[in-house]
């Protein structure tokens, strides 16, 4: 019975979506003293469509929120090495300590999202799974004043709030109901097939590139390695869909011999997951009484593995913006856009899969610079304590 407990008469914020963007935003708002309701139509603790490599910015956020230890305690291995394999050439890099982070992590989404949702609940967020957003409540002045919630028990309930935050993913209903226009749309979208393998020795993150394809091996929970191969949509539709394991192994055999050798003795745990791809977008981030965070406002192709990292960054920018009063949301929009443009552009080029080996190396240098600038900005901007909501 999801609706066993009635809602409060009014909330500071309703957050729609309880995964990395929503749970982080709700937790931070509640820690600032706000009264927050968070809903998600999924069941608690479930997995979702996503690989889950965290970049340094995400690890910085989890650490500063006091949650990195929980990720480690859940058996998520520390990743201390990254290798870029360009055809026959391997570039091995140790993860250098910086901004208090000396390792990367790739927690399964059911691990990470649960830790964040539990932390939100511990901070006082009224958390309800298996409930869906049905609409927004709008005042005569056009301002959003709450949400209509399907409680999952056959009831539809209007709930009042100062702000409704859409953390409801790339197909965001909040964005649709609020009329958030798309400011930029990506031209390229890669398809991907990924699965979890037992028996691959942990050599850190390994990223593979050859014109037309990319792949990766990411150590994760339960001693498993998440292995993916990315390809143009047409290749996926014509050759891979419907034969995912054979397709994943076959592509590795054909284009990534080092990965194929690692996969040969490894055992696949369950059926792989295929994704046909989705074009990135940058939507308007906020308006009167509403805001978007995570993929709802800003989605980019998975080829730069940066969606979770950006979601955790923007959760903090948005929570601080909400606390700082009416001008805060305009600043959230400006800051999110300024921090996201470089990543959006470089992701667009990498996601084309239409580069030479020299060009993709240059793109990785550019990606690295964008990430470093973002981390420096976060370290400087999040150092001060947030104000109360």
Ligand X SMILES: Cc1cc2nc3c(=O)[nH]c(=O)nc-3n(C[C@H](O)[C@H](O)[C@H](O)COP(=O)(O)OP(=O)(O)OC[C@H]3O[C@@H](n4cnc5c(N)ncnc54)[C@H](O)[C@@H]3O)c2cc1C
The contact set with ligand X (CB under 6 A) reads 16-17, 19-22, 39-42, 48-53, 132-133, 167-169, 173, 192, 275, 294-296, 302, 305-309, 311
The dihedral region occupied by 107, where left means phi > 0, alpha psi between -120 and 50, and beta the remainder, is beta
- Would you say 33 or 239 has its CB closer to ligand X? 239
Tell me 373's DSSP state: H
CB-based contact 188:348 (threshold 8 Å): yes
Q: How far is the CB of 140 from ligand X (least distance, A)?
A: 25
Q: How far is the CB of 292 from ligand X (least distance, A)?
A: 9
Closest CA to 79 of 205, 207, 225, 200: 205
Residue with tokens 């209007």: 158
Q: How far is the CB of 133 from ligand X (least distance, A)?
A: 4
Q: How far is the CB of 149 from ligand X (least distance, A)?
A: 8
Q: How far is the CB of 88 from ligand X (least distance, A)?
A: 25
- Would you say 130 or 253 has its CB closer to ligand X? 130
Q: How far is the CB of 358 from ligand X (least distance, A)?
A: 25
- Would you say 45 or 265 has its CB closer to ligand X? 45
Question: What is the Cα–Cα distance from 233 to 188, expressed in whole angstroms?
Answer: 10
Instruction: Provide Rg for the chain, Cα atoms.
Output: 21
Residues 6+ apart with CB under 8 A from 323: 29, 32, 34, 386, 387, 388, 389
- Would you say 169 or 289 has its CB closer to ligand X? 169
- Would you say 99 or 257 has its CB closer to ligand X? 99
- Would you say 196 or 275 has its CB closer to ligand X? 275
- Would you say 15 or 34 has its CB closer to ligand X? 15
Burial of residue 326, with CB atoms counted within 10 A of its CB: 0-12 exposed, 13-18 middle, 19 or more buried: exposed
- Would you say 42 or 337 has its CB closer to ligand X? 42
Which runs of E-coded beta strand occur in 108-262? 126-129, 132-138, 144-150, 156-166, 182-185, 191-198, 205-210, 213-219, 225-231
**Two structure tokens written together for 388:** 């109360």
| Terminal alpha carbon distance of the chain | 31
- Would you say 25 or 32 has its CB closer to ligand X? 25
- Would you say 20 or 255 has its CB closer to ligand X? 20
CB-based contact 214:230 (threshold 8 Å): yes
Question: What is the Cα–Cα distance from 4 to 329, expressed in whole angstroms?
Answer: 34
CA separation (Å) from 293 to 2, 113, 221, 282? Answer: 25, 15, 27, 11
Q: How far is the CB of 293 from ligand X (least distance, A)?
A: 7
Q: How far is the CB of 48 from ligand X (least distance, A)?
A: 5
Q: Where are the alpha helices (DSSP H) in the chain?
A: 20-31, 56-64, 68-73, 109-122, 173-178, 233-235, 244-255, 257-263, 307-323, 328-351, 357-381
Q: How far is the CB of 308 from ligand X (least distance, A)?
A: 3
The dihedral region occupied by 32, where left means phi > 0, alpha psi between -120 and 50, and beta the remainder, is alpha
């Amino acid at each position: 019975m999801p609706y066993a407990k009635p809602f409060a008469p009014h909330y500071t914020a309703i957050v729609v979506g309880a995964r990395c963007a929503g749970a982080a935003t709700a937790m931070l708002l509640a820690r600032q003293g706000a009264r927050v309701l968070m809903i998600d139509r999924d069941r608690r603790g479930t997995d979702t469509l996503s690989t889950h490599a965290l970049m340094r910015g995400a690890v910085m956020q989890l650490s500063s929120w006091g949650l990195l230890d929980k990720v480690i305690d859940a058996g998520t291995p520390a990743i201390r090495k990254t290798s870029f394999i360009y055809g026959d050439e391997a570039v091995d890099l140790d993860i250098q300590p910086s901004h208090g982070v000396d390792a990367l992590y790739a927690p399964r989404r059911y691990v990470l999202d649960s830790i964040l949702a539990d932390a939100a609940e511990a901070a006082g967020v009224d958390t309800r799974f298996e409930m869906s957003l049905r609409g927004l409540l709008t005042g005569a002045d056009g301002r959003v004043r709450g949400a209509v919630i399907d409680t999952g028990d056959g009831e539809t309930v209007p709930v009042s709030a100062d702000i409704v935050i859409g953390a409801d993913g790339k197909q965001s209903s909040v964005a649709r109901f609020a009329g958030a226009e798309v400011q930029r749309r990506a031209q390229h979208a890669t398809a991907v097939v990924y699965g979890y393998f037992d028996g691959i020795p942990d050599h850190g993150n390994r990223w593979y590139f050859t014109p037309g394809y990319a792949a990766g091996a990411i150590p994760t929970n339960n001693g498993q390695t998440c292995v993916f191969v990315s390809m143009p949509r047409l290749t996926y539709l014509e050759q891979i869909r419907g034969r995912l394991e054979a397709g994943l192994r076959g592509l590795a055999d054909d284009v990534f011999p080092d990965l194929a050798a690692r996969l040969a003795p490894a055992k696949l745990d369950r059926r792989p997951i295929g994704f046909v791809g989705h074009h990135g977008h940058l939507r308007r981030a906020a308006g009167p009484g509403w805001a978007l965070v995570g993929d709802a406002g800003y989605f980019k192709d998975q080829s730069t593995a940066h969606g979770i990292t950006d979601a955790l960054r923007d959760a903090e920018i948005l929570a601080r913006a909400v606390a700082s009063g009416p001008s805060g949301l305009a600043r959230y929009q400006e800051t999110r856009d300024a921090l996201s443009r470089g990543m959006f552009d470089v992701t667009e080029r990498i996601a084309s899969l239409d580069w030479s080996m020299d060009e993709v190396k240059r793109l990785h240098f550019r990606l690295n610079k964008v990430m470093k600038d973002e981390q420096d900005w976060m370290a400087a901007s999040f150092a001060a304590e947030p104000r109360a909501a």
